[in-house]
A and B are shown apart, each in its own frame.
Chain A
């Protein structure tokens, strides 16, 4: 059995009876893992039935405000809304469900700093502009790099829409403000007490995927160089898989990383007993970001 077929079989075997997937085999279904698994299975076109059950689980998990939380019974919509949209758009989910999700993302506002002394303090200590609008992990919190990147990626199909375009531009500005010295991204703190903080692979990969979709001119060579080195330094399945997906979106490859990712596949066909890691690895090894 090929590595791709083995990974597909792993995903089919580990789908929960409710149609979703957990981060780890045997765990409750959650939005992020289900979205990535549904994306992987749909894009490979091998198992549309399983992907459809995943899509049905996602649609049923939508909250009344149009967003998604971690799980179907989470009482709060969060960054998982972007993941649900990424999957539903590519897996041909219900258009009304998608539109409610888009509206929820556009309505989401990060915390705003009203007092000028707070803004000055943040700029002095963290070296960032706290009032550039990205997206928070959870409502009412400050914006961070990864939810901003994922939301840009999710909203990319509507980039030309007049109600979407300005928010996307702000989001790109936010990401540029949070770029680490020397390129790449971490959670969103490029500096702390004048000390540059290092970039990390997964946030850098998600930002590059987002910028490739909505503002490729904002990508710098250093960002790509940093991604290559960080994904290898990290060495985990998640860093390697998302790194490869970002490079593929830029028409680049990294053979050492791909080989290391392949080497991490377990005998059961999966990575780290995780449907989430396995789905990301499957996408990375089987053709790139859809």
Chain B
């Protein structure tokens, strides 16, 4: 046999190799750039976001003027709820989730009891089959003493509505939805969260030194059980505040929002900010839209609240299409002092 000599590669084959190498290198670079989510997940979010921005019908956010907790909060809430395209709660198990992170005398840290009880009364009137109120404080106190200190426990006892410490509520693992938890596919969640047909997030409207603002989405941190993850729920910080907020929301939907901005908190939130007599209740079936609207009212654009900006980009909720209803927004605008930044 004759020696074939050194093998030569044709120009076409070389171009093919270069093309394949370029595609492979590009994909690897894209995977690296989009970590920890990865390219496939990133494209899913981006595509969904584009579709949502183009095609989603507007989400209703109703603003109600409610000057103080001594006014008829239930009447304000009922009127707002009726305009907000809220889901039918008849026959449903509903968990009401206020913000009870801690009670600190002199600071409006928690959702006010009159707002929580107004939500409970409205749900009862609307035919919810089971109503429970619960939170899992992040700053290492049991929830019940916090609820007692802010007057909520007694008000719920009058109504025979159970109060649940979500930090200790029989946590079990569920599948984490939508890929926002990068190191785990499961999340341990409390029984009342797992079994709820609907969660009503009832946050205090306030600034937050890590998240910019704390509203109905950030309020969901309180459903993460300290008994499994410890305090202050370090999993959420290690995973990242933005992906954790969005991952929790996607996992526990449906969630609707009632924001207590009757007295808000500005400045050094979420614990030591100053009270702002604001006179606002905000209600909506899309908590992303509600939070975007409320953040805007207190002077925070999307660019300042990372989790809301990412929600808008990824098509989590309807951040870009909001129909404000109820009281005129301009009458309810207050520019809140910013929280301290690193």
Determine the chain A residues whose CB is within 8 A of the CB of B148 once the complex forms: 235-236
Interface string of B312-342 (1 = CB under 8 A from A): 0000000000000000000000000000111
Cβ of B172: which chain A residues have Cβ within 8 Å of it? 28
Q: How far is the CB of A264 from chain B (nearest CB, A)?
A: 10
B-side contacts of A200, CB under 8 Å: 139-141
Interface contact B342-A28, CB-CB below 8 Å? no
Instruction: Give chain B nearest CB distance to A192 CB in angstroms.
Output: 7
Q: Which of B170, B209, B238 contacts A193 (CB 8 A)?
A: B209
Q: Given the known A-B contacts A146-B140, A187-B139, A239-B141, are A23 and B235 also in contact in the complex, defined by CB atoms under 8 Å?
A: no
Asked if B191 is at the interface (CB within 8 A of a chain A CB), the reply is yes
Number of residues of chain B lying within 8 A (CB) of chain A: 32
Q: Which residues of B contact A81 (CB under 8 A)?
A: none
Q: Given the known A-B contacts A23-B168, A121-B342, are A236 and B228 also in contact in the complex, defined by CB atoms under 8 Å?
A: no
- Bound state CA distance, A144 and B235, in angstroms? 12
B139 & A141 in contact (Cβ 8 Å cutoff)? no
Residue B234 interfacial (CB < 8 Å): yes
A285 contacts partner chain B, Cβ-Cβ < 8 Å: no
Q: Is the CB of B231 within 8 A of A192?
A: no
| Separation of A79 and B230 alpha carbons in the complex (Å) | 8
A290 to B270, CA, bound (A): 39
Q: What residues on A are CB-neighbors of B140 within 8 Å?
A: 146, 186-187, 200, 202-203
A23: contacting residue among B170, B188, B209, CB under 8 A? B170
Measured between beta carbons, the chain B residues less than 8 angstroms from A197 are: 271
B234 interface neighbour in A32, A138, A194, A238, Cβ under 8 Å = A138
B49-81 vs A, CB cutoff 8 Å, 1 = contact: the mask equals 000000000000000000000000000000000
Q: How far apart are B225's CB and chain A's nearest CB, in angstroms?
A: 8
Complex CA distance for A235 and B271, rounded to whole angstroms: 20
B160 to chain A, nearest CB (A): 15
- Taking the complex as formed, is A225 at the interface, i.e. its CB lies under 8 A from any CB of chain B? no
**A289 → B minimal CB distance (Å):** 20
Question: What are the residues of chain A within 8 A of B341 when measuring CB–CB?
Answer: 193
B197 interface hit (Cβ, 8 Å):
no
> A186-B140, A198-B104, A239-B142 given as contacts; is B235 within 8 A of A32 (CB)?
no
Candidates A137, A195, A276; contact of B168 at CB < 8 Å: A276
Does B42 lie at the interface of the complex (its beta carbon under 8 Å from any beta carbon of A)? no
Cβ-defined contact, A192 with B209, below 8 A:
yes
Instruction: Scan A148-186; emit 1 where CB is below 8 A from any B CB, else 0.
Output: 000000000000000000000000000000000000001
Given the known A-B contacts A138-B230, A192-B209, are A22 and B170 also in contact in the complex, defined by CB atoms under 8 Å? Answer: yes
Within B152-172, the residues touching A (CB, 8 Å) are 168-172
**Judging by beta carbons under 8 Å apart, are B209 and A70 in contact?**
no
Q: Say whether B227 faces chain A, with CB atoms less than 8 Å apart.
A: yes
In the bound complex, residues from chain B placing their C-beta under 8 Å from that of A22 are 170
Q: How far is the CB of B136 from chain A (nearest CB, A)?
A: 12
Do the beta carbons of A144 and B227 come within 8 Å of each other? no
Instruction: Please give, as numbers and ranges, the residues of chain A lying within 8 Å of B142 by CB-CB distance.
Output: 234, 236-239
A141 near B342: Cβ-Cβ < 8 Å: no
Contact with B along A46-74 (1 / 0, CB 8 A): 00000000000000000000000010001
Q: Does B301 contact A (CB under 8 A)?
A: no
Assuming the A-B contacts A141-B238, A202-B141, A236-B145, are A187 and B232 also in contact, with contact meaning beta carbons closer than 8 angstroms in the complex?
yes
A142 to B141, CA, bound (A): 20
Q: What is the size category of the interface that chain A forms with chain B?
A: 35 or more
Tell me the complex Cα distance, A202–B230, Å.
13
A27 sits at the interface (CB 8 A): yes
Which of A32, A138, A146, A236 counts the most chain B CB atoms within 10 A? Answer: A236
Contacts A137-B229, A187-B140; A235 near B170 (Cβ below 8 A) = no
Q: Report A260 CB to chain B, min CB distance, Å.
A: 11
Task: Chain B residues near A192: list those with CB within 8 A.
Answer: 209
Choose one: B145, B230, B238; the contact of A239 (CB below 8 Å). B145
1/0 contact trace for B207-250 toward A, CB 8 Å?
00100000000000000000111111011001000000000000
Bound-state Cα–Cα, A192 to B237, Å = 15
Q: Let me know if A288 is at the binding interface, CB within 8 A.
A: no
Closest approach, in angstroms, between the C-beta of B162 and any C-beta of chain A? 10
Does residue A136 face the partner (Cβ distance < 8 Å to B)?
yes
Chain B residues near A142 (CB-CB < 8 A): 234, 238
- The interface residues of chain A lying within 8 Å CB-to-CB of B188 are 70
Within the complex, the shortest CB–CB distance from B110 to chain A, in Å, comes to 15
Q: Tell me, rounded to whole Å, the shortest Cβ–Cβ distance linking A96 to chain B.
A: 27
Residues of A within 8 A of B149 (CB): 235
Closest to A111 in B: B238
- Give the complex CA separation of A147 and B228 in angstroms: 12
For A124, the chain B residues whose CB sits under 8 A away are 342
Residues of the B chain whose Cβ atoms lie less than 8 Å from the Cβ of A137: 229-231, 234
Docked pose: A157 CA to B338 CA in angstroms: 50
Q: Is the CB of B234 within 8 A of A146?
A: no
- 8 nearest CB pairs, A to B: A137-B230, A236-B145, A27-B170, A23-B168, A193-B340, A236-B142, A141-B234, A187-B231
**Footprint of A on B, CB under 8 Å?**
104, 139-142, 144-145, 148-149, 168-172, 188, 191, 209, 227-232, 234-235, 238, 268, 271-272, 340-342
9 A-B contacts (beta carbon < 8 Å)? A121-B342, A124-B342, A137-B231, A141-B230, A144-B231, A200-B140, A200-B141, A202-B141, A238-B142
Given A79-B230, A146-B231, A195-B340, 10 other A-B residues pairs in contact with their CB atoms under 8 A: A22-B170, A23-B227, A27-B170, A70-B171, A121-B342, A144-B230, A187-B139, A197-B271, A235-B148, A272-B144
